[in-house]
Amino acid sequence: MASQGEVESVPHSGHRPAPPELEPAPFIRHGTPIFRQTNLALFAAGLATFGLLYCTQPLMPEFSKDYGVSAATASLSLSLTTGVLAVAMLFAGGVSDAWGRKSVMAASLLSSAVLVLLTALVPDWHMLLILRTLLGLTLSGLPAVAMTYLSEEMHPESIGLGMGLYISGNAIGGMGGRLVAGVMADFFSWRVGVATVGTIGLIAGLVFWRSLPPSRHHMRQPLHLGALMGRFRLAFRDAGLPWLFAEGFLLLGAFVTIYNYIGYRLLAPPYGLSQAVVGTIFSVYLIGTFSSAWMGHLAGRLGRRKVLWTAFALMLFGVGLTMTRPLILIVAGIVAVTFGFFGGHSIASSWVGRRAGNAKAQASSMYLFSYYMGSSLAGASGGLFYASHGWNGVALFVAALVIAGLLIAWRLYFLPPLPGPPSPGTEPPLPQ
């Protein structure tokens, strides 16, 4: 038996074996050193991306104090970033088609960390907003391209676990960016908090650059706007992809709405909790580091169509618990919503890559565009329901979003299965 990377001789054959350079590159499988190396890189990337993105959220009161701006104006430090991010991600995949996956992602992380470090130094509010707007543009090179890289390089049996571990990094980054910036601002200043997050992001970017294996299954394509639009249209020809885009919208829309307004309920009577205690309850966000990997791996073994609906069912159960009065049940409801959200996102995002064919980058971009638009539109709309009907109004609005997601998951159950992995005849088709 020849060792890995060697070609076995075939003494009784009249044909020479194919030269190694002509053999197709193997896909990355879990349990191998290259799988661990890849996931270290993408975990660091997710940690940096969402830490850099969300680090200003706990600092908005500090911005109001330092710059004399209203709360609504202070919120632009985040909303401008996410708005630009959603649109720019539509084109980031096309840029990576031409320039390469790893180079675009590394440039995205390193330039974003530098922008956040500069944000800690600017004395002017408008300059801060300009830097945060540019951050949305530079960050866009990571999320959509990371999904594409995983869908191209991972073996179909391993992509669920790989995507889940990447999303775990997103969860820790989202929580860590808020926590580090807020704690450092408490002890020092918001500038020290932002600089700390920027430094962590820079280190994570260097780890990513050093650790991520180069693409082995991506063929670079020239960047032409017409061809790019054609590949976007190709992403809508698949029977399942538009439904998966809708699932992304509903998943993040429901999740963000819960987190946006549950604090108002817990700060008010009869609970009257302090802001610190409410913040501690919200640390259940970190449960996503487990649920995304576990449910992603489960879906890889049992089939995505068989597992996706359970994520929405769990979220619906959690929303119902938040409508009860006992505090312990409300917290349990938040845990259930969080667990279901991260698991559902892991499954849906990996399924997009499996179904996208030659339009993986554009399909990933469309999924994430829908995902962040769900956060923007549904998260803002939830405030109208809170103003008119209190928490029950918010919960019913979120329940409607989750039920819609559950119905779409049921619709996806009846999609025709995709073919199995490359090299037909060597492995059985995988569950979808």
pLDDT above 90 (res 330): yes
pLDDT above 50 (res 88): yes
221-252 per-position pLDDT tens digit: 555 655 556 556 666 667 678 888 999 999 98
pLDDT of amino acid 268: 77
Coil, strand or helix: which one is 28? Answer: strand
Mean pLDDT computed over 158-180: 72
Instruction: Decide which of 3.40.50.1980, 1.10.150.120, 1.10.3720.10, 1.20.1250.20 is the CATH code for 227-417.
Output: 1.20.1250.20
Measured over the CA atoms of residue 166, residue 152, residue 218 and residue 216, the dihedral's sign is positive
Topology of domain 33-223 in CATH is Growth Hormone; Chain: A; (1.20.1250)
Selected residue with higher pLDDT from 111 and 93: 111
Average pLDDT, the chain: 76
Q: Does the global pTM surpass 0.85?
A: no
- Write down the domain spans for the chain: 33-223, 227-417
Give me 34's structure tokens. Answer: 């290259």
23-69 per-position pLDDT tens digit: 455 666 656 776 777 777 888 888 888 889 878 776 766 787 788 87
| pLDDT range class, residue 403, cuts 50, 70, 90 | very high
Half-sphere exposure of 69 (CA within 13 A, CB side): 19
- Residue 158 neighbours by CB under 8 Å, 6+ apart: 27, 28, 29, 30, 35, 300
Of the chain, the percentage scoring pLDDT greater than 90 comes to 19
Please determine whether the domains at 33-223 and 227-417 fall in the same fold group of CATH.
Answer: yes
pLDDT of amino acid 5: 36
Of the chain, the percentage scoring pLDDT greater than 70 comes to 69
